[in-house]
Amino acid sequence: MRIAVFDSKRYDRNALNAANHAGYTFEFFDDRLNRSTVPLAAGFDAVCPFVNDRVDAATLGELHRLGVRHVALRCAGFNGVDITAAAQLGIAVTRVPAYSPEAVAEHVFALLLTLSRKTHRAYNRVREANFSLDGLVGFNLNGRTFGVVGAGKIGRAAIKIANGFGMRVLAYDRAPDPQEEALLGCRFVPLPELLASADIVSLHAPLFPETRHMINAASLATMKPGAVIINTSRGGLIDSSALLDALKNGRLGGVGLDVYEYEEGVFFEDLSGSAVQDDVLARLTTFPNVVITSHQGFLTDEALANIAQTVMRNLADFAAGRPLLNAVTP
């Protein structure tokens, strides 16, 4: 079986090749899969896109014409794929629903601790031989209220870490199970209560039409003054312009972003030789209480290995005609 891997980096190649015990033929492309690049899929049995590839109806139609019958995502999110069109064309879509919840949850606290103890500013000062502590006063996590929006696998891993810090944990989920509160060490509450009560709000929700811009001007206005927002889930959960306004007027105490709603074409790329064209993103990078990483929450040895192994299992199940445990359907 021949698989075209799109939007691939060196770490993708290393992980997939190491997991390729079946002897499949991989060809790696730097390009993202979309309407313009879909001709590259000619002669392949399957394609393996990533989170920011755009596999819309037109792209799927061309994939079908080229003989591709399997879209094997190597990510959990599938909002970039027209699932209904794929089903109508008879193209299977699989994903990696969970690779390492701990990897992403730990990155939440990498961002949070950077903000709470201002280590990014201290690091830059010391490199310039400035050992002053003025302006570096932080705050304890112990005793603070940590709000988790979305209590799936990653959200639960974040709850566990928050409990380790001695934080009071609130959680919101579309399908809460109050019987699990004692086991998880949290209290399930409605989203408005969580936003109004939490010192730190950590987003772990999928991106659907109903969750897009769930953090907007109205919801930001209900949050505690000085609250911190961490987003390691999907950029579209936050209205970036409203977030910028809340930072400008001092409503928020800090923001940690590993995702951004307009990250396509920016994140994962080296743009150091050119100016950032996104004015909102450029402005966000100027705030001392904003820390942005380039969608690297998943980027650990363990997570990459798990992703590659699940992709290989999805490919093998499809090739053998077995039920697809990780299928995405309308």
What string of DSSP letters covers 137-177?
A: ----STT-EEEEE--SHHHHHHHHHHHHTT-EEEEE-SS--
Map residue 18 onto helix, strand or coil. helix
The answer to whether 263 is a known catalytic residue is yes
Residue tagged active-site, from 54, 156, 295, 313: 295
C-alpha–C-alpha distance, residues 74 and 314, integer Å: 10
Q: Which two tokens stand for residue 123?
A: 């690091």
Half-sphere exposure of 86 (CA within 13 A, CB side): 23
Residue tagged active-site, from 261, 263, 264, 313: 263
What string of DSSP letters covers 174-226?
A: SS--GGGHHHHT-EE--HHHHHHH-SEEEE-----TTTTTSBSHHHHHTSPTT
Residue tagged active-site, from 32, 156, 168, 234: 234
The catalytic site residues sit at 234, 263, 295
